[in-house]
Chain A
Amino acid sequence: MSFSLLSAAASGEGATPAWAMLAYLVAGVFFILALRGLSSPATSRAGNRNGMIGMAIAVVTTLIMHGTNLVEIGIAIAIGAILGVTIARRIAMTAMPELVAGFHSLVGLAAVVVGLAAWLNPAAFGITDAAGQINAVSRVELGLGIAIGAITFSGSVIAFLKLSGRMSGSPIMLPGRHVINLGTLAAILVLIGLYTVSPEGGAGEGWMVIAVTALAFAIGFLLIIPIGGADMPVVVSMLNSYSGWAAAAMGFTLGNSAMIITGALVGSSGAILSYIMCRAMNRSFISVIAGGFGAAPEAGGAGAREQRPYKQGSAEDAAYMLEQAESVIIIPGYGMAVAQAQHALREMGDKLREKGVSVKYAIHPVAGRMPGHMNVLLAEASVPYDEVFELEDINSEFAQADVAFIIGANDVVNPAAKTDKSSPIYGMPVFDVDKAKQVFFIKRSMGGVGYAGVDNDVFYMNQTVMLLADAKKMVEEIVKSLD
């Protein structure tokens, strides 16, 4: 029995031998361990290595079973390796969101390619029935895999363009887009259904798969176009999830447990991240996906805004107050990433600590353009991770803090989220900076508003001093004044 388990194929032509199935299962387990390692920075690098081991097992197993065209395949892998490693080495940490979006688009496109290849040459993938036709179940899996892959691809391309600033981050609204989107989605599902029941080589069997691919490319594009820049954390997470489901669908087609386990892991990961991001904005997933948030000023918003008095300060004022403080909480936002101010900020933190000031960093889940964006930038600037705190862990400390130092954040400190039921950000958890004794708010100018397009009462509070300048320049000046 053990002999047959390790040598013979379970049944039928093209079925995977048992040893290979076991190898794929082991690869899947390594992928689980890869994610498990990320539960703490201390174990994270070992986790990443486990991921590499799992991938190596999956690739080598496949190459042993299908040992033809090895030279070409080797060249293809080498090209990918050189490109991938070069990109990974050169990319600036601030550009991480668009890099991840770009990578997602490649997974999506690869899924489409694999799906089309399996459709064109089903015998090689062992998905044919006795009559040489593709099984009905495999057709559904193929159709879904291609569709999800194509959506991932085109959606990620748009997300990439928006995140890298090659395309305006503001929502682009097409009239009747909900009808168009739902219609396209319905058409894709109907076509997959028709393809499943139509005989191979029968009327229209070929164009159905092509049409599913084309429509899915179109809907990925249409779905992301109306979603604004600061909703990108949700979009990137969602596309992350889709890339997982696409891999899982292909795993079903190939009966490959490594792909199925990975797909399920990545799919849940992206879905959970999307959920965390939505919760942190107190918005439903549907409303984010429907898009258009922050597109038009609210009634009585930007245009009609009254001029209210505020205090403006200089770097010297800020440096003086910071030195006198016992505890400072720094709240970075997307503006810090844009200004590349993280290194100057860490220098400021170090200077203050030398003077005996307690310095902590407070990070909102949706700060930046992707989950964990601020954490990576602070880590890049060598801020130890045990000085960086999540919203719920630090929010109670503002009441005791001498200074809340806001750099490039806005909506995440807006008290309207707690008090103003008519505000578009009402209900979003925010930092209680209004409880700190003193607030410094670095902002480019008084003209701009946050993503939500709403005014922020923090600007006009008695204890608030506005530092109107480029974030990096302002922090550098504060550092100079601290000497």
Chain B
Amino acid sequence: MDFIAILSIFVLACFVGYYVVWSVTPALHTPLMAVTNAISSVIIVGALIAAAEAENPVAKYLALAGVVMASINIFGGFAVTERMLAMYKKKEK
């Protein structure tokens, strides 16, 4: 993709982010941080490419370390968000 196309996606996504995040209820701000943390680990895509295409062992293990770090975040982030959200209950009746 050329730079302008990427930039367009980025700018529009910033606006989407702005409006979506303002609509998040303040009671869920902690789960919001946990889930944004999990999704920002989509950076794992970069680590996966680096690990798959590595030309030498050092680069490979460095990239694999990145995969481990991002995976901790992805699994930990989604799991802890799920755990928190399961606790939010409405009044009975």
Binding site for B on A (CB under 8 A): 10, 16, 21, 24, 27-28, 31-32, 34-36, 38-42, 44-45, 47-48, 51-52, 54-55, 58-59, 62-63, 66-70, 72-73, 76-77, 79-81, 83-85, 87-89, 91, 93, 96, 99-100, 103-104, 106-107, 109-111, 113-114, 116-118, 120-121, 124-125, 137, 236-237, 240, 243-244, 246-248, 250-270, 272-273, 276, 363, 365, 370-373, 375-376, 379-380, 382, 384-388, 390
Which chain A residues lie closer than 8 Å to B48 at the CB level? 59, 62-63, 66, 73
Q: List 10 A-B contacts (CB under 8 A).
A: A41-B88, A42-B90, A58-B44, A80-B67, A80-B68, A80-B75, A107-B43, A124-B52, A257-B6, A372-B28
Contact B69 A113 (CB under 8 A): yes
Question: Which single residue of chain B is at the shortest CB-CB distance from A21?
Answer: B1
| Candidates B20, B73, B82, B85; contact of A36 at CB < 8 Å | B20
Residues of A within 8 A of B70 (CB): 80, 106-107, 110
Q: A80 touching B43 by the CB < 8 A rule?
A: no
A87 cross-chain contacts in B, Cβ below 8 A: 72, 76, 80
Chain B residue contacts of A72, Cβ below 8 A: 51, 60, 64
Of chain B, the residue at the smallest CB distance from A135 is B3
Q: How far is the CB of B62 from chain A (nearest CB, A)?
A: 6
Given contacts A113-B65, A379-B89, contact A107 B40 (CB under 8 A): yes
A109 to B72, CA, bound (A): 12
CA distance A48 to B75 in the complex (A): 12
Q: Total number of A-B contacts with CB less than 8 angstroms?
A: 379
List the A side residues contacting B66 at CB < 8 Å: 109-110, 113-114, 117
Residue in B16, B18, B44 whose beta carbon sits within 8 Å of that of A272 in the complex: B18
A74's nearest neighbour on chain B, judged by CB, is B67
Q: Is the CB of A73 within 8 A of B64?
A: yes
Interface residues on B, range: 35 or more
Q: In the complex, are the beta carbons of A260 and B9 less than 8 A apart?
A: yes
Q: Whole-angstrom distance between the alpha carbons of A114 and B45 in the complex?
A: 9
Please give the distance in Å from A345's CB to the nearest CB on chain B: 15
- Are A113 and B63 in touch, CB under 8 angstroms? yes
Q: Which 10 A-B pairs have the closest CB atoms?
A: A80-B71, A84-B76, A372-B29, A124-B53, A268-B17, A84-B75, A114-B46, A117-B50, A264-B13, A371-B29
A382 and B78 contact, Cβ closer than 8 Å, known pairs A66-B48, A114-B66, A273-B33? no
Whole-angstrom distance between the alpha carbons of A252 and B10 in the complex? 9
- Give the residues in chain B near A44, CB-CB below 8 Å: 28, 31, 85, 88
Contact between chains at B20 and A370 (CB < 8 Å):
no
Complex: how many Å from CA A99 to CA B23? 25
Closest beta carbon of chain B to A235's beta carbon, Å: 12
The verdict on A45 contacting B32 (CB below 8 Å), with A72-B64, A107-B40 known, is no
**B52 and A41 contacting across the interface, CB-CB below 8 Å:** no
Q: Which of B1-58 contact A (CB under 8 A)?
A: 1, 3, 6, 9-10, 13-14, 16-18, 20-55
